[in-house]
Amino acid sequence: MESPIISIVTICYNSVSSIEETILSVLSQDYPKLDYVIIDGGSTDGTMDIVNKYRNRLGYVCSERDKGISDAFNKGVHNSKGDVIGIINSDDILLPGALHSIASAFDGKTDAYRGNVIIVNKESGFRGREIPSMKFPLAPFITHVAHQGTFISRAAYDRWGVYDVNFRYMMDYDLMTRIYKGGAQFKYVNSDIAEFRLGGVSDSSIKKKRYDIEHVVLNNGGSKLLANYFYYYMYLFDACKRAFTSLFGIDMLKRLHYLKNKN
């Protein structure tokens, strides 16, 4: 089968300290059918000065205020040209050979290609490998979204829609649940695709995520009772995680959560 056009979407806002490393990790892939899209939220710190250094190698760039992460993701998807689309944020890294691994797995019928994500704590040097989940039931106990290692086909976005702009934290989980329940075909790609650095929006308070937690269930056919159960389960689980982290540190928690990566 002919190699696909692969789009990478990077969203950023005041990311001057990290954006260039992200850009170079994408542009150094040596993949001939790369379409690279950068969506900036109106940075004022010099981020766009760095982006503009590489503008002649980018497929689409815009810098304007948006309605949040989901809105920025959607702008990237709508302005990309790829047969499959991956999202690498401004503090993430696309690992060498990643696009060739996705292209090798491409078959023209899979809806979501799911590769491994390397989890990194730059302060301690900890590295773990997140193996992506291939099922997204409502209110699961543990699910590995592995967002940075996921490439979704254009056809899947056309069929099931893009990211819900009402979500501020769990828009990726909501999308994966939606397409899974819709019958999407998932394929595991046994390669390390991206590197994710600990910190950022994913570490926000569970109370701030209440809307997202409940509406992942409600928006995908679950009951209000199940949505409430899922929130309080996540609330207690988060409290336990925070207590464990205060006693043993974040790296020990991540060792329990992810497979140790020795590479």
- Summarised one tens digit per residue, pLDDT across range 187-227 is 999 999 999 987 554 555 788 999 999 999 999 999 999 99
In a domain, 254, yes or no: no
CATH number for 34: 3.90.550.10
Q: Which amino acid is at 185?
A: Q
When divided into structural domains, the chain yields a total of 1
In a domain, 212, yes or no: no
In a domain, 194, yes or no: yes
In a domain, 211, yes or no: no
Residue entry with tokens 């979704």: 152
Residue entry with tokens 């701030």: 208
Domain enclosing residue 186, as ranges: 6-200
In a domain, 37, yes or no: yes
* Count of beta carbons in the 10 Å neighbourhood of residue 142: 7
Q: What are the backbone angles phi and psi of residue 187, rounded to the nearest 5°?
A: -130, 130
At 84 the pLDDT is 98
At 242 the pLDDT is 81
- Summarised one tens digit per residue, pLDDT across range 107-138 is 999 999 999 999 988 777 788 899 999 999 88
Question: Is the full-model pTM beyond 0.85?
Answer: yes
Q: Which amino acid is at 23?
A: I
